[in-house]
Amino acid sequence: MLRITVLLAILFIFSCKENTQQLEEATLTEVKPSVLIETFRFNKDNVAPLISVHRGGSGLANFPENCLETLQYVNDSISAIFEIDVAKTKDGVLVLMHDNTLERTTTGNDKLDKYTFDELQAFILVDDFGNETTFKIPKLKDVLVWAKNNQAILTIDIKRTVDVSEVIKAIREQQAEDYSVIITYDVKQALKAHELAPDLLLSVTARNQEELTWLLETDIPTENMIAFTGTRLSDAKLYNELHNLGIQTMLGTLGNLDKQAESKGDSLYKAWHNMGIDVFATDRPFQAAAALDIIKQE
């Protein structure tokens, strides 16, 4: 009798393990790659440039950065993708905010994570010129919903107080995989993001050959990558190699390069595109879009 009981117990354990393994395998097969993986695959026959709006729109009078109303305002005017910053409140709500503190972009003060989300609603957002608006700090959840409803693409910069798994969970909950790109800054971050979400497109840092080599030595497929090449111009050989690998390039013109274009002429954006830049992360989205002949897609 004892032998029969032990045998049944062993069979039950193996059955549970087998069922768990089958469930895990089924779950993996059910996850479909984000459409962005194919959309952002470099294709020499489709080299139209694209604008990435830094912080969702900065330097805009009466429209603050990382603000839902600003995203809508820019999206109504030009075709673009939107870089946003995600931080976390005291009570664990994911919100859009670049700084650790509130003073620069809101009427509040002190650190963001000292407040619950409801407490933050007492403050209003301020534009880059100090103008107070009627807009509030938005939840990431609401921005993901907006992106889906408006067919807008978000590149998500995750602050140190937030784990990438939390952002991926939010994306899953809103079924926003086809509208979300995870920004990573080094190989370690890229590997973790890919392990947690192999179906998502990643913005990876490849400012030079060494950083590109590190990425290529990982098991992250190149089709899951869009390469951020820094805020300075790199050698055109780097852009060519990335293109040969099927990887689109992104240049951060925000800062010095935007200033160069403002002083020397916006035609510089077109010259940089001809060098091999596919996506322009900029604080001058309207000027860059005009220079690159980017037309709003209806």
pLDDT tens track for 38-78: 999 999 998 899 999 999 999 999 999 999 999 999 999 99
Q: Are residues 2 and 106 in the same domain?
A: no
What's the CA gap between 173 and 289, in Å, rounded? 33
pLDDT over threshold 70, residue 1: no
User: Is 296 domain-assigned?
Assistant: no
User: Is 127 domain-assigned?
Assistant: yes
Q: What are phi and psi of 197, to 5 degrees?
A: -145, 75
Q: Are residues 46 and 168 in the same domain?
A: yes
Per-residue pLDDT band at 30 (split at 50, 70, 90): low
The CATH number of whichever domain residue 266 belongs to comes to 3.20.20.190
Which residue range is the domain that position 23 belongs to? 1-30
Q: Are residues 22 and 49 in the same domain?
A: no
Please state the domain count of the chain.
2
User: Is 298 domain-assigned?
Assistant: no
Q: Are residues 154 and 176 in the same domain?
A: yes
Q: Are residues 21 and 73 in the same domain?
A: no
Per-residue pLDDT band at 136 (split at 50, 70, 90): very high
The answer to whether 170 and 87 have CB atoms below 8 angstroms apart is no
User: Is 268 domain-assigned?
Assistant: yes
- Spatial CB neighbours of 168, under 8 Å, sequence gap ≥ 6: 182, 193, 196, 197, 200
Per-residue pLDDT band at 4 (split at 50, 70, 90): very low
The answer to whether 56 and 71 have CB atoms below 8 angstroms apart is yes
The answer to whether 102 and 123 have CB atoms below 8 angstroms apart is yes
Per-residue pLDDT band at 7 (split at 50, 70, 90): very low
Lowest mean pLDDT among 47-56, 214-223, 268-277, 288-297: 288-297
In tens, the pLDDT along 203-251 reads 999 999 999 999 999 999 999 999 999 999 999 999 999 999 999 999 9
